[in-house]
Amino acid sequence: MDQYTAEKLKSMVGAKNYFDSKEDKLVYSYDGTPIYQQLPEAVLFPQDEEQISQILKLANLEKFNVVPRGSGTGLSGGSIPVDNSVVVVMTRWNKIIEIDEDNLTAWVQPGVITRALQKEVEKLGLFYPPDPGSLNVCTIGGNVANNAGGLRGLKYGVTKNYVLGVEMILPNGDLLKTGGKNMKDVAGYNLRDFIVGSEGTIGIVTKILLKLIPKPTKSITLLIYFDKLTDAGKTVSDIIASHIVPSMMEFLDNTTINCVEDYTNIGLPRNSEAILLIEVDGRGGEVQEDAELIRKIAVKNNASALKGAANEEEAFVLKTARRSAFSALARKMPTTILEDATVPRSELPVMIEKVSKAAKMFDVIIGNFGHAGDGNLHPTCLTDERDSKAIERAHLAFDFIFNEAIKLGGTISGEHGTGLAKKEFLEKVAGPVGVDMMKKIKKAIDENNILNPGKIFTISPKCEGILPAKREQIKDFHV
């Protein structure tokens, strides 16, 4: 990016919202994804829609790339800068614009922190269920971009089930408004659902309309210990098959249990092969009945112990412990590569075994945990990025895991997105026709490929940036 463009961007957003020091570039070169990082040319904090529109128009004109970003907790590299790019940070757009108690909806800006929204609506007896592990930090805008899931996905669904409307600036600078407070709306293509999960590649979201539901009044949280991994898997399938829908059914293996216990000290069973953390919620007596039935299923499947949280605080502590799992695993090794393979729920016990097999085959340590009720596992490879051989083995293990998941009718990513980290596997799941359609849509909306290019898929195989016009623009080639 040349001096002229930099000055123009600076005057667009104002000098105090424009950062290009080496320190600022450095600290926006990463997100929550391991290994990937790249320096941006500048970091911008736009103040209004008009500024975003101008930035994107200039990007088309001057041929630089734009990468939108929230809190930067993503796990597939969606907000990591690309070559010749500016980062557009939306964290200061953090107002809850309206909570409509008559229609049970909320208008929010994309920088609102997920947990902050939940706290506000819960004061009114309402509920916004999607709860990704990073809910204390991540933004609604990021949740929409990645169609984030979470612990409650099993019963309450994921972000897409709660997005009613979106306003976004398209790559050409136009403002798109789609959706609204109608519970039913079939006018034209369903653009709204297409936007959710588009990973910041087709527009920058500026306003989001969310659906809220009444808050369940009763919940019971159970913690079940198992001496055998397969018994835990079997328990999950049996619960699903007996037509109970818990609001949460989380699985942690022995490695994860120990790392989480190191962090939380809440007395998790260090010797158990696996634990299940299950919550049932609702109104009235059925909650107790469901809990009782789950207890019987667990006993039948050789559970070694079964505990109930005595009150809401204890339940909260247990859920917080589960949410810390990914980061807690970093206690063991400095690099944690977290994956997101998901299979149909009936195949969960098989998938758990495949993950164990991968760890043995490729001589890597894998901590496994995840949303068992959704068939969404988070096998996490504990390794060290300074050891290239270990990283190589980790990649082989994940190739194996992805392929096995696909064989079982599963997918490569349940909730983290494709981003940079999984794009090479996309075609295996979406098929060549599917990927081709995605690329055509992207080309139609983002003619010059300036918005978060190279994420999800690569449009042109080699050249992501501008073609070099002068000799000096050609960078040294490193292997």
Partner 1 sequence: MSKEIQYKELLKILPDDDILQQCIHCGMCLATCPTYEITKLERSSPRGRIKMIKSVARGEMEMSRIFADEMNFCLDCQACETACPAGVQYGRMIETARVVIDQTEYVSKFSVEIKKFVLRKIVASRNGLKIVSRFLWIYQKTGLQKLIRATGILKIFSKNLSEIETLSPLIADKFSDTQINEIELPTGEVKYKTAFHFGCLMNTMFADINIDTIDVLKECGCKIITPKDQVCCGSLMGHNGDMEFALKLARKNIDAFEKHDYDFLISNSAGCGAFMKDYAHLLEDDPDYAEKAKRFSSKVKDVMEFFAEQKPELTFQSVISKESSTRLPDRQAEKSSSNDIQQISLPINRDRNDNHKKNQNVTYHDACHLIHAQKISTQPREVIKSLPGVEYTELEEASWCCGSAGIYNVVRYDDAVKQLERKMNNIKNTKAKIVLTGNPGCMGQIKHGTQKFNVDVEVLHPVTLIKRMLKK
Residues 6 or more apart whose Cβ sits within 8 Å of residue 235: 224, 226, 276, 297, 298, 301, 303
Of the residues 102, 313, 472, 476, which one makes contact with partner 1 according to CB under 8 A: 313
Of the residues 8, 211, 228, 331, which one makes contact with partner 1 according to CB under 8 A: 331
Least CB distance from residue 21 to partner 1, whole Å?
A: 6
Least CB distance from residue 346 to partner 1, whole Å?
A: 28
* Sole window of 207-215, 301-309, 427-435, 438-446 interacting with partner 1 (rule: CB under 8 A): 301-309
> In which residue are the tokens 């039935």 written?
293
The strand pairing partners of 220, in sequence order, are: 280
Least CB distance from residue 45 to partner 1, whole Å?
A: 8
Contacts of partner 1 in 250-279 (CB under 8 A): 259-260, 262-263, 266-267
Contact call for residue 287 and partner 1 (CB under 8 A) = no
Contact call for residue 327 and partner 1 (CB under 8 A) = yes
Of the residues 363, 384, 436, 447, which one makes contact with partner 1 according to CB under 8 A: 384
The answer to whether 259 and 325 are in contact (CB under 8 A) is: yes
Binding mask 186-225 for partner 1 (x = CB under 8 A): ------------------------------------xx--
What does the chain come to in residues? Answer: 479
The answer to whether 233 and 302 are in contact (CB under 8 A) is: no
State which residue, 34 or 110, has the beta carbon closest to partner 1: 34
> In which residue are the tokens 């500024």 written?
51
Q: What are phi and psi of 340, to 5 degrees?
A: -140, 25
End-to-end CA distance of the chain: 24
Residues 6 or more apart whose Cβ sits within 8 Å of residue 64: 1, 5, 41, 58, 84, 85, 86, 450, 466
**Both structure tokens of 80:** 């990591």
Q: Cα(179)–Cα(167) distance, rounded to whole angstroms?
A: 9
Strands 65-69 and 85-89: parallel
Contact call for residue 328 and partner 1 (CB under 8 A) = yes
Contact call for residue 242 and partner 1 (CB under 8 A) = no
Q: Cα(365)–Cα(383) distance, rounded to whole angstroms?
A: 7
Contacts of partner 1 in 21-50 (CB under 8 A): 21-24, 26-32, 34, 45
In one letter, which amino acid is 442? K
Contact call for residue 123 and partner 1 (CB under 8 A) = no
State which residue, 91 or 103, has the beta carbon closest to partner 1: 91
Contact call for residue 115 and partner 1 (CB under 8 A) = yes
Strands 369-371 and 126-127: unpaired
Sheet holding 365-367: strands in order across?
335-338, 380-383, 365-367
Contact call for residue 299 and partner 1 (CB under 8 A) = no
Least CB distance from residue 313 to partner 1, whole Å?
A: 5
Least CB distance from residue 327 to partner 1, whole Å?
A: 4
Q: Cα(134)–Cα(395) distance, rounded to whole angstroms?
A: 25
Residues found near partner 1 in the complex (CB under 8 A): 19, 21-24, 26-32, 34, 45, 71-73, 89, 91-92, 113, 115, 134, 136-138, 222-223, 259-260, 262-263, 266-267, 291, 295, 305-311, 313-314, 317, 324-331, 334-336, 384, 386
